[in-house]
Chain A
């Protein structure tokens, strides 16, 4: 009796690369999205080092980046936009009025002189900020 095979098992001649391409595309897209989300608030700069400090996240944080600038000494960037000290004071007041629990975090480059950071601190002080965070790299 001739047995007829119901399922003829033919070996696949080629490797199906479609899932590999899908995986690579997903990896690329997620790296782009996550990198963009993280880079929105934090500008690329070298922070001063600290061996103490805290890393506890806060609910509402206003991140003020101060980068070294060859022309003007320093530039202040908040939410990817460059602003002046006066605008920063208004922004901080508005943010505190909207969300009183907002924490101001200052991320200043380690190469800066204090004179470049002082206008930001003074603007925050004038806006009524009682305390703020100075961002630093953890170096135990």
Chain B
């Protein structure tokens, strides 16, 4: 028969009575939470992007210069369209050319003119795949041309 409410304490009860609750599982849980939060955010990660300008119609105002004696950048309107075979061709840097050829021409242009010496305005037709528009923009950026914008092909 037990005396009053006294009960026989086990080793775990005596441990907790003397030292408090065991914090190890709580620390483990917090560490696991931190690790999985870090892993999840690392998997999601930041997205890459290309910065493109949206000049207004009548893009003579695109080049705004602080120094009135400085020459404006050379402007090239690159028109993208689809040929009969369904390939995307670019027009504006000479004769109509493929995107591979355009990339080479942009490389030469960027090397000769420098990053702020050239302004490229991409005017794609509606039928051109969006990934080709991004590819042309990417080619400009890779050639060191930082001033790139997208305009409406139907605009004057």
* A contacts, CB < 8 Å to B: 7-10, 19, 22-23, 26-27, 30-31, 34-35, 38, 42, 47-57, 105, 107-118, 121-122, 124-125, 129-138
Interface bin, chain B? 35 or more
Q: Would A124 and B54 count as touching, CB distance under 8 A?
A: yes
- Cα distance A8–B11 in the bound complex, in angstroms: 7
Q: Which of A107, A109, A117, A124 has the most CB of B within 10 A?
A: A117
Query: B11–A134 contact, CB under 8 A?
Result: no
Report A-chain residues with C-beta under 8 Å of the C-beta of B129. 110-114
Interface string of B43-64 (1 = CB under 8 A from A): 0101111111110100000000
Chain B residue, CB-CB nearest to A50: B138
Select the residue from A34, A57, A133, A134 with max chain B CB neighbours within 10 A.
A134
Which of the residues B52, B80, B141 comes within 8 Å of A52, measured between beta carbons? B141
Contact check, A23 vs B32: say whether CB atoms are below 8 A apart: yes
Interface residues of B (CB under 8 A from A): 10-11, 14, 25, 28-29, 32-33, 36-37, 40-41, 44, 46-54, 56, 80, 124-135, 137-138, 141-142, 149-150, 152
List the B side residues contacting A125 at CB < 8 Å. Answer: 54, 56
Give CA–CA (A57, B32) in the complex, Å. 27
B residues less than 8 Å from A121 (CB atoms)? 54, 150
Give complex CA distance A9, B11 in Å: 6
Q: Is B32 a contact partner of A116 (Cβ separation < 8 A)?
A: no
A53 to B137, CA, bound (A): 10
In whole angstroms, how far apart are the Cα atoms of A113 and B88 in the complex? 12
Known interface pairs A125-B54, A132-B52. Does A55 touch B126 (Cβ–Cβ under 8 Å)? no
CA distance A72 to B130 in the complex (A): 17
Point out the residues of chain A lying under 8 angstroms from B134, CB to CB.
48-50, 110, 134, 136
Q: How far is the CA of A26 from the CA of B124 in the complex (A)?
A: 50
Query: Does the CB pair B49–A133 fall under 8 Å?
Result: yes
- Contact check, A19 vs B49: say whether CB atoms are below 8 A apart: no
Q: Which residue of B lies closest to A110 (CB)?
A: B131
CB atoms of A19 and B29 under 8 A apart:
yes
- Report the bound CA distance from A26 to B11 in whole Å: 29
User: A117 near B48 (CB under 8 angstroms)?
Assistant: no
Chain B residues contacting A57 (CB-CB under 8 Å) are 46
